[in-house]
Amino acid sequence: MLIYIAKRVLVALPTLLIVSILVFSLQKLLPGDPVLALAGEERDPATLELLREKYHLNEPFVMQYLRWFGGVLTGDFGVSLRTGQPVLELIAQKLPVTIQLALMSMGFALLIGIPAGIIAAVRKGTAIDWLANIVALSGLSIPNFWLGIMLILFVSVKLGWLPASGYESPFVDPLRSLQTMIMPAFVLGSGLAATLMRHTRSAMLGVLSADYIRTARAKGLDGREVVMVHALRNALLPVVTLTALLFGELLAGAVLTEQIFTIPGFGKLIVDAVFNRDYAVVQGVVLCTAVGFLVMNLVADVLYVLLNPRMRSAL
């Protein structure tokens, strides 16, 4: 198993290198000059040149990249051009917020998607199956920003049940933190629940038609035991690995939701950095997001091997 993990890590390293080059290169295509934003109204040529020299913006592109990537390897992601705060410090402040949102969203997705997929597979061709598929397609089709705005209008403005925006750390006020996170987590989790429902239903249908399931039923085993013990255990193999990949997408795809609900996570950080031409912050956040996705991809591969006896025997 350790050899398998080492091989997967070695495969991921070139990918990470390519991602770092793309992140640094595409960042340079953003319009505007960060030095002009830093200088403010006092745009003296000497001041502009001093700022470019201070932040190494007057060096060739290759030298800038090597300097930045060398710092990344040692844990130095640079300094925010806007605030002067180390990028790694900003990431450490914002990442727990996005992780909390991702965990709660995945909780909603699992609680809704997997049971719905099981019921739809067991009741294939019935009204319940059709209803579950319609709800799943709606969850995939409705944009997150629209659903978020509708929830704010209905749940917060009209009913007053939950706060419309804001964030509170669970270490400061757990109840307030839960209240501020329920709606954004549901917005993100609803789309994932639809994806999990479709995959769970498909996997369950394949397993329920297998010979060993027919044999179990022929032996007189209880129908619930056949579904929940014998069928579900095998059907969840691809779903577990899909869940790990979806969690990686959550870390990268919560930008609009965080903006709508004013959650100070990765999404809001990168949007503010883009508008302020804060190159170092954008590069650091995107690179960390890519690393998170690669890690979750590795976790998905390892989980599939652990849960699949045939894969383990092949190692």
What pLDDT, in 10s, does the model give residues 133-161? 888 888 778 888 888 889 899 888 888 88
Cβ burial 236-267 (10 Å sphere, 16+ → b, else e): bbbbebbbbebbbbbbbbbbbbbbbbebebbb
Asked whether the predicted pLDDT for residue 111 surpasses 70, the reply is: yes
This prediction's pTM: 0.80
Out of 16-30, 77-91, 113-127, 218-232, pick the least confident. Answer: 218-232
- H helix runs in 123-231, sequence order: 127-141, 144-151, 174-208, 211-218, 223-225
Domains of the chain with CATH codes: 94-279 (1.10.3720.10)
Give φ, ψ of 229 to 5 degrees. Answer: -100, -55
Asked whether the predicted pLDDT for residue 312 surpasses 80, the reply is: no
Closest CA to 183 of 157, 164, 160, 167: 164
